[in-house]
Amino acid sequence: MSEPYRFQIMPEEKVIFAKHFGEIKLGNIVKLSQAVNENSCSLKHMNVLVDCRNCGLDLNAHDLQVVADMLAKKAEQNGYYTEILLISGMLSQGFSRMLGAKIDELDIRFEVLWDNDPELEEKVCELLNLEQGFVFPDFLGLPFRSISDSDASRLTGVCNEI
């Protein structure tokens, strides 16, 4: 897949869905953050799901601090929100633990969920304040119930971005 990430903003649900593809690099994290922040549908207090499943990591300690600083700036500007990091693999777990330690004192709810959790969809709905049976963006893939991008663009309150 040539695209490093995709995202979709659903302002009516106050949620942003983002997915990384391939290898996660600092530059792609920064570009994704800028694209979301510049989107007219992005609002304060929006909860976020960042899907990092099956991705490699090309991040060093400095990069990790930059990501933590970005989250701190977002929390300062937007106030309290929930951020979920969806991971698979031990490398991602190590990254998520280090990031969690760096942002421990921020006024956000930071949750890390494993992709092999049999109740993953239900937990995500609960953490993001979505109704059970919520239909997720297609690019998230299984185990989430989804609709295609073309169908999503016809829904009200959905901003598609690539």
User: pLDDT averaged over consecutive 10-residue blocks of the chain (162 residues)?
Assistant: 87 96 94 93 92 90 89 87 87 72 80 92 95 91 73 53 52
Per-residue pLDDT, 85: 92
Per-residue pLDDT, 28: 95
3-state SS, residue 6 = strand
- In this structure, are residues 64 and 29 in contact, taking their beta carbons and an 8 Å threshold? no
Torsion sign, CA atoms 46, 113, 100, 138: negative
**Nearest CA to 74 among 101, 47, 98?**
47
Q: Per the structure block, which two tokens stand in for 51?
A: 């899907």
Per-residue pLDDT, 156: 46
Distance, CA of 134 to CA of 56 (rounded, Å): 29
Per-residue pLDDT, 103: 80
List the 159-161 sheet strands across, edge first.
109-114, 82-87, 47-51, 15-20, 5-10, 159-161
Per-residue pLDDT, 154: 45
The ranges assigned to domains in the chain are 5-161
- In this structure, are residues 122 and 95 in contact, taking their beta carbons and an 8 Å threshold? no
From the number of C-beta atoms within 10 Å of its C-beta (0-12, 13-18, 19+), residue 148 rates as exposed
Q: What residues form DSSP beta bridges with 108?
A: none
Residue type, 59: L
